[in-house]
Amino acid sequence: MTRASDSEREETVARLREAAAEGRLTVEELDQRIDAAYAATTRAELEPLTADLPEGVPPSGRVERGGGTSFLIGLLGAGDRRGRWRVAEQVTVINVLGGADLDLREATLAAPEVTIRVFSLLGGSDIIVPDDVHVELSSFALLGGDDLKLDRPEPPPGAPVVHVKSISILGGTDVKSARGRRRHGALMPPRPPGRH
């Protein structure tokens, strides 16, 4: 038997939540099936949980499994990604004296949950996220700062999740729903600590 991955469990939960939002599952059924999905260790245990539901379509068509950009380096401001591109399930961004900006508004995701790890020295990244994904930011910043600025409606139930994990030294990373002024870069000093 093939063991289930974390992303497969999350995809099953997303389908269950979508079905509940459509009135196909009661709240009690949803809770029971979500518990079973998170407890599942094999694909065979996940399959019956959605077998009586219509074939699911990833929210807004944003998830297309497999592949994608998994490594970016921002050196003196190079390395930006925008427009139509695919975000791998695990992405590493390294910024030195500048930064690689990521615009996810037209991007597709390689899994229902993706993790973007950003390591910055004298710089950082602006990460622009669309309205139809959940976003979580965890960060450590020394002589700088990382900000989450989301001015938008709550994403729909079962929407994909983007986890941003940032470590910044003399700089920082902004995760936001609309493009703002670039505050990092090769020719711009990092923001002083405590001024967000």
* pLDDT (tens digit per residue) in 2-45: 888 887 888 888 888 878 877 888 989 999 999 999 999 998 99
- The answer to whether residues 89 and 127 belong to one domain is yes
Tens of pLDDT along 48-92? 999 898 765 444 468 877 788 999 998 887 789 999 999 999 999
Instruction: Indicate whether 194 pLDDT > 50.
Output: no
What pLDDT is recorded for position 55? 65
Amino acid at 81: R
Over the chain, what HEC string results? CCECCHHHHHHHHHHHHHHHHCCCCCHHHHHHHHHHHHHCCEHHHHHHHHCCCCCCCCHHHCECCCCCEEEEEEECCCCCECCCCEEEEEEEEEEEEECCCEECCCCEECCCEEEEEEEEEEECCEEECCCCCEEEEEEEEECCCCEEECCCCCCCCCCCEEEEEEEEECCCCEEECCCCCCCCCCCCCCCCCCCC
Flag whether 84 is in a domain: yes
- The answer to whether residues 102 and 164 belong to one domain is yes
Rounded Cα gap, residues 117 and 138, in angstroms: 10
- The answer to whether residues 53 and 79 belong to one domain is no
- The answer to whether residues 13 and 88 belong to one domain is no
- The answer to whether residues 119 and 168 belong to one domain is yes
What total of structural domains would you count in the chain?
A: 2
Average pLDDT over residues 157-186: 77
Tens of pLDDT along 98-111? 888 999 999 999 99
Range of the structural domain that residue 43 is part of: 6-57
